[in-house]
Chain A
Amino acid sequence: MTEMPYAVEMKDIVIRFPGVLANDHVNFTLKQGEIHALLGENGAGKSTLMNVLAGLYKQTSGTIKIYGEPVNFHSPKDAIARGIGMVHQHFMLVPTQTVTENILLGLNEPRFFMRLAEYDQKILALQEQFGLRVDPTAKIWQLSVGEQQRVEILKTLYRGARILIMDEPTAVLAPQEIEELMGTMRAMVDQGKSIIFISHKLHEVTAVADRITVLRKGKVTAEGRSMEGLTKEDLARLMVGRGVVFTVEKTPQTPGDVVLSVKDVEAVNDKGVPALRKLSLEVRAGEILGIAAIAGNGQSELAEVITGLRPCSGSIKINGQEVSNRPPSAAIKQGVSHVPEDRTGVGSAPNMTITENTIMKCYRQAPIGNGWSINFTNARQRARELKDAYDILAPGVRTMARKLSGGNLQKVILAREISSQPQLMVAVQPTRGLDVGAIEAIQKLLLAQREAGTAVLLISEELEEILALSDRIAVISEGRIMGILDADQADVHEIGLMMTGTAVH
């Protein structure tokens, strides 16, 4: 037989964790030179399966063949030696080191002298080949999430990966960045790489994948099917086992008074570079103002200046009260709630319980506290109510935040932020990295806030989400407002152009 062997052939893979069957006799094949999407909800076992392929875990039973040869990985090193590279969902980079240093980390080169300039050139050449632009001398902490991801991809390519596992690579990217990434993926496939693309974003899967394998609760529901004739609805059904409604119900509503008024605000980012330039906008009670922007164009900084986490010049008023350059507690007092971009790093305390995480902003107020002491009986009672009301899946309210899945952690944060009955809600990337079910739930919560008369500032890199939820859309590029449109008259291409800095009107 001279038939080309599969790049990856995983057969009857069973992965058992204590009390959990993460993968139940899963078959998976990757053809050479294809993009194969691995689809499934959070907790369906996608990452686990791929961690086995990358040598991070060991399967309980089952066999793996790479280019037709049976393999038995004992560590990630073995997998790398076979040309398997994994781009993790959570980046594994050293923030204080440069791009080049991070790429070289763990390699045996340079051997003695750190001739970094030389390696910068090599890495630039590699960037050229696959269209992955990022300054090799920049430090990781200075980079946007999208740029950091490119470093992760470069890392695997530099190590000579032929099979790339990309664990939800688009979760952190802006539309244009996603398109760029897809271009890169195509370029890599054209040059002989094979790619496994883990995702739960259906439109991306339909756009880029050649074949697809769907997992649900550890079992395969579609094995290596060609994408032809598969619609988004079919995929969703395979994934969640029921039909999912893609359009959100939004009742027409007349907005009330101006709650948030931002005027001529300027601020610099962490690198000291201007991030906001004379930016002005208003959000009224009972409306959702969506901010559409490519990652790193000032939207994160905008959320931070409003919530008091970043200094700025200009004026920010909430119900007429100036809050700019005041500590975060000033904004909280004015009724600003904040769903932060980084839910694990900023929005929650990992080693504290659900109860302790829900009282973060109200531990001094009755009935939780009296300013001196905290009534934990009341706090737990309230946490239990929130857990039920927001459908948070956890063994109990004493569960540590770090043990929650992304969707459930986000629900804890939303429960805390909504229960304070805010005047203004600043929601940054509220659904990033969540599965279809959780996204639906969180979008509904945001709309309920709008109906309750809260002013909502929604910052998202999911253009679809912005279009679906917003009443008005402000497009930002390089810290400037390119235009503010009514959502029902907005045109995706027009917004795309404005996001890249082209003024349309």
Chain B
Amino acid sequence: MPYKLQFEKRVEDIPKWLPAATSLGSVVIAFIVSGIILKLIGGEPLRVAKFFYEATFGSWATFSDTMVKATPLILVGLACTIAFKMKLWNIGAEGQFYMGAFFASTVVLVPLVPLDSPKVVVIGAMALMGLIGGAVWGFFPGYLKARFNLNEIITTLMLNYIAVFWNNFWIFDRWSDAGFQMTPVFEKSAWLPRITDYAREYGDFIAAGGPLANFLSSIGLDRISGMTLHGGVAFGVVAAVIVWWMLARSSWGYEIKLIGDNPKAARYAGLNITRNIVLVMMVSGALAGLAGMAEISGVVHRLQERISPGYGFTGIIVAWLAKLNPFAVIIVSILFGALIVAGREIQPSGLSQLLQGIILFMVISSDVLLRYKIRLVRSQAVTEAA
């Protein structure tokens, strides 16, 4: 071969736009590769792509579905982002999600507040309990890590199962709705507001006309009934802003990064590492717990089995793909939300998992572009005398 690829270590600082560009590029390439695979097995990639698009971003209604799936991913992705910044491998977001859902349910099922209170009180109490439930489930592995140096990967993973079975006990035994593996449906006051709940007033608003109404109907937003996007997405966006500020600007965020980068230097600089491990695990757990609360209060409206199709684990991938950037977590979550929605619509449903896998693979391998410059050189140039 007269030419070969040469890898050169990057000596200078990389341009700021490069990480984003490589991530975007890898997603595009992942779609192309999936298309080729689809073609090879006799599928029609372009038709599938069109269908995929229509099922996820094609209309406001489908986009709302996509966002519903993205909501828990944003919160769980942020949970993982915070922990991973400190190189704490919290694999337990799934369990923290379930515990958040369980704690939030107690508000309605015990009940902890009168259920005829205003929505804001009930939802507020549920959100608080969701945060607490996740934080408790993050506290245990955090404390064990800080005090006894127990590997958090193992403990958080194990606690996932405990959380799921703990939930099962309550929904099978204590709170079962007529023997089904679910609790009775919550009172309306415990439902996070959904867009569709405002369909009647909105319809009147559109019918009344005016510049805003005309604009909304011109972009296809003349009907909102059936749109299930709920208030949880606001939790996600607000949390992203807070997490971003915390990591980028706060003293605590600086401590998290310092401990993550070099714990010995952090100890030398006088930081309290033990306390920070526990705190970070609790905050990470709390965010995952809030995702659980949002899911039962915004979508299923009861506590039941399998409220998460593995959001806690997908959140790990989301955090990685977003390169631990809180705002990128939102974008990646929407992409993965779309993949979940598409997985329901496209047969076989494994197709969208295939795509997920290829995206992850591409993004991880694209890291090589950040560390090396790759250039095409004549292979004999090496031995040539200059």
Cα A359 to Cα B253 in complex, Å, equals 13
Cα A416 to Cα B340 in complex, Å, equals 50
Quick check: A328 and B12 within 8 Å, CB to CB? no
A253 within 8 A of B: no
Residue-wise, chain A 239-264 has the 8 Å CB interface mask toward B (1 for contact) of 00000000000000000000000000
Quote the shortest CB–CB distance from B243 to chain A (angstroms): 14
> Which 6 pairs between the two chains have the least Cβ-Cβ distance?
A329-B270, A349-B261, A61-B386, A360-B269, A349-B262, A328-B270
Quick check: B8 and A17 within 8 Å, CB to CB? yes
Quick check: B11 and A346 within 8 Å, CB to CB? no
Taking CB as reference atom, which chain A residue is nearest B270? Answer: A329
Binds A, one of B193-201, B297-305, B377-385: B377-385
Quick check: A374 and B249 within 8 Å, CB to CB? yes
Binding site for B on A (CB under 8 A): 12, 14, 17-20, 58, 60-62, 72, 307-309, 327-329, 331-332, 338, 340, 342, 345-352, 356, 359-361, 363-364, 369, 371-374, 376, 395, 398-400, 403
Given contacts A72-B383, A309-B267, A361-B270, contact A374 B11 (CB under 8 A): no
B265 within 8 A of A: yes
Contacts of A14 in B (CB 8 A): 386
Contacts of B382 in A (CB 8 A): 58, 60
Taking CB as reference atom, which chain B residue is nearest A370? Answer: B251
Taking CB as reference atom, which chain A residue is nearest B252? Answer: A372
Q: List 9 A-B contacts (CB under 8 A).
A: A19-B12, A307-B268, A328-B267, A331-B270, A363-B251, A369-B251, A372-B250, A373-B251, A395-B13
Taking CB as reference atom, which chain B residue is nearest A351? Answer: B261
B272 within 8 A of A: yes
B254 within 8 A of A: yes
Quote the shortest CB–CB distance from A41 to chain B (angstroms): 19
B264 within 8 A of A: yes
Interchain CB contact (< 8 A) of B250 among A307, A329, A374, A403: A374
**Chain B's interface: helix, strand, loop or mixed, by majority?**
mixed
Given contacts A18-B8, A347-B265, contact A332 B254 (CB under 8 A): no
Quick check: A400 and B8 within 8 Å, CB to CB? no
Q: Please provide the chain B residues from 45 to 73 with a CB less than 8 Å away from any CB of chain A in the complex.
A: none
Cα A348 to Cα B258 in complex, Å, equals 9
Contacts of B270 in A (CB 8 A): 308, 327-329, 331-332, 361
Cα A219 to Cα B142 in complex, Å, equals 55
Contacts of A369 in B (CB 8 A): 251
Quote the shortest CB–CB distance from A451 to chain B (angstroms): 26
Contacts of A356 in B (CB 8 A): 254, 257-258
Contacts of A19 in B (CB 8 A): 11-12
Contacts of A72 in B (CB 8 A): 383
Q: Please provide the chain B residues from 236 to 294 with a CB less than 8 Å away from any CB of chain A in the complex.
A: 249-251, 254, 257-258, 261-262, 264-272
Cα A372 to Cα B245 in complex, Å, equals 11
Interchain CB contact (< 8 A) of A398 among B13, B257, B262, B269: B13
Quick check: B249 and A373 within 8 Å, CB to CB? yes
Cα A345 to Cα B263 in complex, Å, equals 9
Quick check: B249 and A376 within 8 Å, CB to CB? yes
Contacts of B266 in A (CB 8 A): 349
Contacts of A349 in B (CB 8 A): 257-258, 261-262, 265-266
